[in-house]
Structure 1
Amino acid sequence: MQEESVQQMGIIESLASRMALWMNREREGDHIDYLKMKLGIETILTNLSKAVIVYGVAAILGLFLQTLILHLTYAVLRRYSYGLHANSSTVCSIVSIVLFIGTPVLSQYIPFTHLMVIGCGLLFIVLLYRYAPADTDKSPILGAERRRALRNKSVVACAVITGIALLYPDPFIKSLLMLGMAIQLVMILPLTYKLLKRSVKNYEQYETESRSA
């Protein structure tokens, strides 16, 4: 059954399925084990393929290091504040190219002063404290303690990055650090969710059902 379904999948999903099948046979796992391994491998392969595309384009344009700095800043903050995901891998790749390559080009014309870094840093901290972490309908963040811990870590991460931006003398690097955080902030704002017609605070549905059960 599993072998037959592999033929009807896309390239990445098919490769993930074949790898999961082989690994599952080796460890003599059941169908649930196979599905878990397939999902994990597919996620890794999808992220790798997107990284190759984005950083490949960045390298061709001579923006590899700038894209890396921007992306790492975004990723550090996103680790704790979560936020929106694209509806498909293709859309995600396109948006990633526009944001992580277009923004470094734009940042050359937006030099951040110390005052701008402080002002934006304080604004970001307030927004993170108010809206982080932001979940999705497919990945609700359950548990008030977990959400509180993620919110606090988001605020700390933002404060640390802002401090680094303040200390770093190059205005271009300051811009990359602050704009990297700004991109992630957009991903958690209720206005962004509303414009894209996505639901907010998805955990409430599950926790309400749990309390009423």
Structure 2
Amino acid sequence: MKELLRNFNPCNFICMRMFNYFKKKLNLDPLQLEKLYLGIMVIMFNVLEFVVVFVVAFYIGVIKEALLFFIMFASIRCTAAGVHCKNNLACMAITLTSYIGASYISVKYPINCSLACIICVICAVLLCKYSPADTEKRPILGAKHRKKLKIQTTIMSSILILINLLLLNKSIFNLTMFALILETLSVLPWSYKLFKASYNNYKKYEVV
């Protein structure tokens, strides 16, 4: 009994229960079942990841800032994409460090708006140059599609900077700066080398 409890993984248990439920309800082939299970695993990990992040943020009193950081980062990430960690533990560590670190520093030790603006503009230029950056599992196919994502990323980055120039709130400007820095780092070719990940994966499928 002790050995059973020691090896019990609540996430895997919940994932298997959900998987078995949908398996009975849906008529899927083996490949679709594999995709279903992987999808459930991804959703469960993301839920767990954000629960941990926001519990820590609530504990240290920066939950509003962490939520705002998430919204700004996600608004750029969804079009710019970028490198992913190869294991869940590293992903959790980077997410927790970046969300909590950015929120805490923005509240306690913000830099002035002028410097934050300069850094944001530099990041926006780099994002325009290097985004979208795909992954080996999710290559971004189609030149028109990549161009569309690049334009959307540039527009969103510009909108975030413009909003901050209108508000001139030091904490929010710093949160925006950190969101842009984090996303910029995730699309740079050097980051792919650091994580030993394949870069420009669409070239494997397209004649460029």
**What percent identity do the matched residue pairs reach?**
28
User: How much has 1:105 moved relative to structure 2?
Assistant: 2.0
C-alpha distance in 1, partners of 2:194/2:95?
19
Q: How does 1:12-161 map to 2 (within 5 A)?
A: 12-107=11-106, 108-113=108-113, 115-161=114-160
Aligned letter for 2:109?
Answer: Y
Deviation at 1:9, TM superposition (A): 9.8
Structure 1 residues 10 and 87 mapped into 2: Cα distance closer, same or farther (>3 Å)? farther
1:86 is paired with a residue of what secondary structure? coil
Matches of 1:35 and 1:138, distance apart in 2: 15
1:149 and 1:95 mapped to 2: Cα distance? Answer: 29
What letter is aligned with 1:174? F
Name structure 2 gaps, 5 residues minimum.
1-6
Offset, 1:35 = 2.1
Q: Name the CA shift for 1:159/1:63 in 2 (closer, same or farther; >3 Å).
A: same
Query: In structure 2, what residue type is equivalent to 1:68?
Result: L
Contact 2:77 2:183 in 1 (8 A): yes
Mapped pair 1:181 → 2:180: yes
Summarize the Cα distance change of 1:199–1:31 in structure 2 as closer, same or farther, 3 Å threshold.
Answer: closer
- Per-residue deviation at 1:23? 1.4
Count residues with an aligned counterpart.
201
Q: Quote the Cα distance in structure 2 between the aligned partners of 1:96 and 1:11.
A: 21
Counterpart amino acid of residue 172 in structure 1: S
Cα separation, partners in 2 of 1:194 and 1:30, compared to 1, 3 Å:
closer
Structure 1: how far apart are the matches of 2:59 and 2:197? Answer: 35
Answer with 197-206 or 42-51: which moved more: 197-206
The aligned amino acid for 1:78 is R
Contact 2:120 2:180 in 1 (8 A): no
In structure 2, how many angstroms separate the alpha carbons of the residues matched to 1:46 and 1:137? Answer: 20
Q: Over residues 83-125 of structure 1, what are the superposed CA-to-partner deviations in whole Å (9 max), with x where a residue is unaligned? A: 0111111111111111110122222323232x33442343222
8 Å contact from structure 1 (residues 24, 30) kept in 2 = no
Q: Give the letter for the 2:135 counterpart.
A: T
User: 2:165 matched to which residue of 1?
Assistant: 166
1:12-50, Cα deviation, whole Å (9 max, x unpaired): 344323312221212333323322322222211110000
Task: Give the Cα–Cα distance (whole angstroms) in 2 for the partners of residues 33 and 186 of structure 1.
Answer: 34
Q: Structure 2: how far apart are the matches of 1:74 and 1:29?
A: 35
Q: CA deviation at 1:11?
A: 4.3
Corresponding residue number in structure 2 for 1:3: none
Structure 1: stretches of 5+ with no match in the other structure: 1-7
Amino acid at match of 2:47: L
Letter in 2 for 1:84: V
Shift of 1:158: 0.1
Q: Match of 1:64, as an amino acid?
A: I
Which segment is superposed worse, 189-198 or 60-69? Answer: 189-198
The code of the aligned residue for 1:109 comes to Y
Q: Is the 8 A contact 1:117 1:165 kept in 2?
A: no
Whether the 8 Å CA contact 2:76–2:156 is kept in 1: the answer is yes
